Amino acid sequence: MANGPSVSLNHKLADYFHLRLQELGRRQSTPPQDDTLWYIGDMLARFGDSDQLFSYEDGRIDIRPLALLYKDAHETNNVRERGLILRQLGDMALFMGALFPENYQRRGLKKDYFVGMGGGAYSYLSETELQHRHIFAELATRFTRILELIAQACEKQTAFDDGDVLTLYQRWQKHREPRVAAQLRALGITISDTQALH
């Protein structure tokens, strides 16, 4: 049973993320459905395995761009294959948009890119898939809120040093993200929405 330890670790990781997402989701005015939280927890655990995240193409290991996944889905005539590709597209848009937004902002890709690509993929799946339609429908309609929920669930849990706090404050000054403002306030930093941008 060669896959035993890996499968066990993935289940534990999925359970951890589910509990974390459930705890944070309760703070929203309309908490996500529990099925959706299980789906997201499983997705986060799956992408914890680099083989699920990276692909080998043109002699190198890389993350397949969302636009190319969309192109693959558009070009296939196989309905089942299209569904699998769009599910990967939606999941990747959630994962990358929530965990690495700064990396993509430097390349000129903003949150609306992930929302458009991922939300569109999940919307299609909510109409065509036989299983998980209600999950895909919620992911499509609440994509932005789910992005924020995942980002919160995966935040660094260790203590912040002075450099971390300064970096966080500079990020808030530049982007004015509510999630970053909440982190600063949790660290005891007083900020005002009327403070001037530098």
- CA dist., res. 70 & res. 85, Å (int): 8
pLDDT of residue 54: 72
pLDDT of residue 72: 96
For each successive 10 residues of the chain (198 residues), what is the average pLDDT? 49 85 90 95 85 71 87 96 96 90 70 90 95 96 93 67 67 74 66 51
pLDDT of residue 43: 93
CA–CA distances in Å: residue 143 to residues 68, 127, 135, 169, 191: 21, 16, 11, 26, 28
